[in-house]
Chain A
Amino acid sequence: TSVGSITTFTQRNLEGYVGFANLPNQVYRKSVKRGFEFTLMVVGESGLGKSTLINSLFLTDLYSKDYPGPSQRIKKTVQVEQSKVLIKEGGVQLTLTIVDTPGFGDAVDNSNCWQPVINYIDSKCEDFLNAESRVNRRSMPDNRVHCCLYFIAPSGHGLKPLDIEFMKRLHDKVNVIPLIAKADTLTPEECQLFKKQIMKEIQEHKIKIYEFPDTEDDEDNKLIRKIKEKMPLAVVGSNVVIEVNGKKVRGRQYPWGVAEVENGEHCDFTVLRNMLIRTHMQDLKDVTNNVHYENYRSKKLAAVTCNGVDTSKTKGQLTKSPLAQMEEERREHVMKMKKMEAEMEQVFEMKVKEKKQKLKDSEAELERRHEQMKRNLEAQYKELEEKRRVFEEEKANWEAQQRILEQQKLDASKTMEKNKKKGKIF
């Protein structure tokens, strides 16, 4: 082992052109060929402009008249719907998945309306975990939710209890970026106060929203600090193009003026778009992979190894060595086998008893029937005997009668003979 030696890294100057400066290009080319995936989730009460903002962000009509956004349809329970769209720009291909949560916060009783959202995120992480643990991992589609935009209603006061609950439950499962929706309802002063109040409450409740990482570049850091000051971003969405002072802009036309979507003075839409798509999309994916997904994975796997039973509720700890672990598993297995054996024997015994009982019963039944039949037969026999006796009697009677008749006939003929002999018949 190299405990004693310390490897030192010294910066060396190259004497010629080696060529590994070309590595970023190779990575770039490979990524472009592979294409990119990004999953964005939008959560908020209906009517806060989520569908409009998505359409504005990606300049496509994900939700159009033919396929209206979920807000136009009233939902009784919270649903989680996903729609995939493939967009191309400059040779780069992006598979964008938008996950929408219609019905969130719309009912009278909104307890646990965050549960379907949590279930969805967890199930996507589970899919990825399973795909990662497979033997053949050639294609691993990444459907994990990379970013969750949470829409806050522009009340101007502070966060609602529902907002706080939701963010508290989701901040360690996904990157949460809170946004102030429909920001054209706030004057600049109200907006400032509102943002300050929200950030204060977020800190009070220890909610971990997505933090922009500091880079080594000072210039970038300045920009990042500016963005951080504007959090949460106040956005306005629109895909309607209006002409203002001869220029075509996207905005909302009011009787008192036009609120321009891409004007930095009017709202923070451009900041959001730049941050989400142009500068920090990869970072969001990295944080999802390295932090949120790892959280999920360690929780899940620890639970599995601790009990031998997959209960994701209990948190296990890997404190035993693998051998002891195996020994314990074997013992457990043996015990389980013994128990099963005992159970089976019991079941067997019971079955045997049952069968015996059944046989006895059927035997008794047969006996009974046999007896019955015998009695029947005897009865019939007696009956017949009786009949015969009666018959014999009758026969005897009839014979007796016949003999009497015969006798009478004989007597009659005898007297006739006597009379003839006397010959005196006149």
Chain B
Amino acid sequence: MIGHTSVAVGGLYGEKASGPTVDFSYVGIDAILEQMRRKAMKQGFELNIMVVGQSGLGKSTLMNTLFKSKVSRKSVLATSQEKIPKTIEIKSISHDIEEKGVRMKLTVIDTPGFGDQINNENCWQPIMKFINDQYEAYLQEEININRKKRIPDSRVHCCIYFIPPTGHCLRPLDVEFMRRLSKVVNIVPVIAKADTLTLEERDFFKKKIREELRANGIDVYPQKEFDEDAEDRMINEKIREMIPFAVVGSDQEYQVNGRRLLGRKTKWGTIEVENIAHCEFAYLRDLLIRTHMQNIKDITSSIHYEMYRVRRLNENNTVVAHANGIPEHHLAAHEM
């Protein structure tokens, strides 16, 4: 509302003002929020999350827990045995979920086989190739002469990287992967199966990880350089101090103190997934869904995608393979 007080004004031809006062100073710009809301409700949202980590770290369970429904690959493709594949596969499953009239197309991209072999050299290459392929597909749609009104967005918005809870430090594989991928996608590292660490071990481990990330120049989400203003910085600093989140996932409910809660029941106690005294799942969920989802998508489209686009359009006719992290020095040469 533009700041004016309502005043009874006389008519155009000098007639005396009569009847209830009309607020002529209200233009109605703020009604655009309502229009946008209606449009968003009609269109729905898209979110593409990739999960990366060794087998057995609880990736599928965490996805199910995050969206409170069976969205993971395992729930959809019923496999009787959990066999580790010989090479890394990339499996994408899409779901349409709805809450309070808001529709979301959620795509979970799983990477079975990552880090499971004896020799894991270059196991990040298929993943980088996939991410770049999605950017490429979007770019092709964008530069079309007759392009669609709404380009389907299959770009990976967020990559959740699962760190095994050794309690000591990052492994060479973790460092290598995050170093390369933080340049093309938003990485959110989490400590998997955190119910194996006591609180002191957890704090020590997190400190070590943050140190190593800093030492290797790895920028995980939320990146410092993309903080827009002081308010953002304050919120994001708080998040940065907590990274990586120590999470526990579960899709089974138990009765605790008369309430039904998601958790894991052991002989010495029940771990409540959504209790922040037990683990930091709630913080991860808030970050990914309740507070920073739009920000994640914005950074993907305005920064990561733009970087790719500039590189690509400058290459002219050179092969895209250069951008897939195969020869590092080529990549460095094309970096802006």
A-side residues, CB < 8 A to B, are 45-48, 71-72, 74, 106-111, 153-158, 160-162, 165, 182, 184-185, 187-188, 252-260, 263, 265-266
26 contacts between A and B (CB under 8 A): A46-B168, A74-B169, A106-B171, A108-B119, A108-B120, A108-B172, A110-B119, A110-B120, A154-B56, A155-B57, A157-B55, A158-B82, A158-B84, A182-B165, A182-B196, A185-B193, A185-B195, A187-B264, A188-B266, A254-B278, A255-B199, A255-B278, A257-B266, A259-B266, A260-B268, A266-B266
Q: Is B167 an interface residue (CB 8 A)?
A: yes
* Complex Cα gap A253–B199 (Å): 8
Q: Does B54 contact A (CB under 8 A)?
A: yes
Chain A nearest CB from B233 CB (Å) reads 31
Q: Chain B contacts of A154 at CB under 8 A?
A: 56, 193, 196
Majority SS at the chain A contact face: loop
Are B277 and A265 within 8 A (Cβ)?
no
* Cα(A184)–Cα(B199), bound, Å: 14
A257 close to B269 (CB less than 8 A): yes
What CA separation (Å) do A15 and B270 show in the bound complex?
Answer: 67
A260, B266: Cα distance in complex, Å: 12
Instruction: Name the residue on B nearest A163 (C-beta).
Output: B118
B166 at the interface (CB under 8 A from A): yes
Give CA–CA (A100, B310) in the complex, Å.
51
Q: Do A72 and B168 contact each other (CB < 8 Å), given the known contacts A185-B196, A254-B198?
A: yes
Q: Is the CB of B168 within 8 A of A187?
A: no
- How many Å lie between the Cα of A161 and that of B269 in the bound state? 33
Q: Complex: how many Å from CA A329 to CA B196?
A: 64
Q: Which of A108, A155, A252 contacts B56, CB < 8 Å?
A: A155
Name B's A-contacting residues (CB within 8 A). 54-57, 82-84, 116-121, 164-169, 171-173, 176, 193, 195-196, 198-199, 264-272, 277-278
**What residues of chain A lie closer than 8 Å to B56, measured between beta carbons?**
153-157
Report chain B residues within 8 Å CB of A111.
118-119
Contact residues in B for A187 (Cβ distance below 8 Å): 264-266
Contacts of B264 in A (CB 8 A): 187
Q: Which residues of B contact A158 (CB under 8 A)?
A: 82-84
Question: Is B82 in contact with A157, judged by CB distance below 8 angstroms?
Answer: yes
Minimal Cβ-Cβ distance residue in A for B194: A185
Q: In whole angstroms, what is the CA distance A157 to B113 when docked?
A: 13
B contact residues around A260 at 8 Å (CB): 268
**Residue of B84, B118, B167, B199 ringed by the most chain A CB atoms within 10 A:** B118
Question: How far is it, in angstroms, between the C-alpha of A184 and the C-alpha of B268 when the chains are bound?
Answer: 9
Contact check: which of A107, A255, A257, A259 meets B172 at CB < 8 Å?
A: A107
Q: Are B119 and A256 in contact (CB under 8 A)?
A: no
15 additional A-B pairs beyond A156-B56, A254-B269, beta carbons within 8 Å, are: A45-B166, A47-B168, A48-B166, A71-B168, A109-B120, A109-B121, A110-B119, A155-B54, A155-B55, A185-B195, A185-B196, A254-B268, A256-B269, A257-B269, A266-B266
Q: How far is the CA of A258 from the CA of B198 in the complex (A)?
A: 10
Task: Give the chain B neighbours of A46 by CB distance below 8 A.
Answer: 166, 168, 171
CA A259 – CA B82 in complex, angstroms?
Answer: 28
How many angstroms from the CA of A71 to the CA of B167 in the assembled complex? 10
Q: Please measure, in the bound complex, the distance between the C-alpha atom of A111 and the C-alpha atom of B120, giving whole angstroms.
A: 9
Residues of chain B within 8 A of A182, CB atoms compared:
165, 196
* Inter-chain contact A106/B172, CB cutoff 8 Å: yes
What residues on A are CB-neighbors of B116 within 8 Å?
A: 160-161
Closest 5 CB pairs of A and B: A155-B56, A47-B166, A257-B269, A256-B269, A257-B268
* Chain A min CB distance to B208 (Å): 10
Chain B residues lying within 8 Å of A108, measured Cβ to Cβ, are 119-121, 172-173, 176
A residues in contact with B278, CB < 8 Å: 254-256
Q: How far is the CA of A257 from the CA of B268 in the complex (A)?
A: 5
Which residues does chain A contribute within 8 Å of B271, judged by CB atoms?
254, 256
Least Cβ–Cβ distance between A51 and chain B, in angstroms:
10
Closest to A165 in B: B118
In-complex Cβ contact of A265 among B167, B195, B267 (8 A): B267
Contact check, A259 vs B268: say whether CB atoms are below 8 A apart: yes
CA distance A154 to B266 in the complex (A): 15
How many whole Å from A101's CB to the nearest CB in chain B?
A: 15
Q: Are A184 and B196 in contact (CB under 8 A)?
A: yes
Known: A47-B164, A153-B56. A161 touches B117 (CB 8 A): yes
Chain B residue nearest in CB terms to A113: B118
- The distance from the CB of B272 to the nearest CB of chain A, in whole angstroms, is 7
Choose from A72, A160, A188 the contact partner of B84 (Cβ within 8 Å): A160
Cα–Cα distance between A279 and B295 once the two chains are bound (Å): 61
Cβ–Cβ < 8 Å partners of A71 in chain B:
166, 168
Q: How far is the CB of B248 from chain A (nearest CB, A)?
A: 9
A266 with B268: CB separation less than 8 A: yes
For the complex, what is the distance from the CA of A255 to the CA of B267, rounded to whole Å? 14
Q: Which of A154, A160, A260 has the most CB of B within 10 A?
A: A160
Given A72-B168, A111-B119, A188-B266, are A256 and B272 also a contact pair (CB < 8 Å)? Answer: yes
Question: Which A residue sits closest to B250, measured CB to CB?
Answer: A187
Min CB gap A54→B, angstroms: 16
Q: Which of A45, A72, A255, A259 contacts B277 (CB 8 A)?
A: A255
Q: How far is the CB of B64 from chain A (nearest CB, A)?
A: 15
- How far does the Cβ of A371 sit from chain B's closest Cβ, in whole Å? 69
What residue of chain A has the Cβ atom nearest to residue B271's Cβ? A256
Shortest Cβ distance from residue A18 to the other chain B in the assembled complex, whole angstroms: 54
Q: How long is the Cα–Cα vector from A29 to B35 in the complex, in angstroms?
A: 93
A161 touching B118, Cβ below 8 Å: yes
Contacts of B54 in A (CB 8 A): 155
CA distance A106 to B82 in the complex (A): 23
Please indicate the chain B residues that have their CB under 8 angstroms from the CB of A74 in the complex.
169
Nearest CB in chain B: distance from A167 CB, A: 13
Please report the C-alpha to C-alpha distance between residue A191 and residue B119 in the assembled complex, in whole angstroms: 28
Least CB separation from B277: chain A residue: A255
What residues on A are CB-neighbors of B82 within 8 Å? 157-158
Minimum CB distance partner of A72 in chain B: B168
Q: Compute how far the CA of A111 lies from the CA of B268 in the bound complex, rounded to whole angstroms.
A: 39
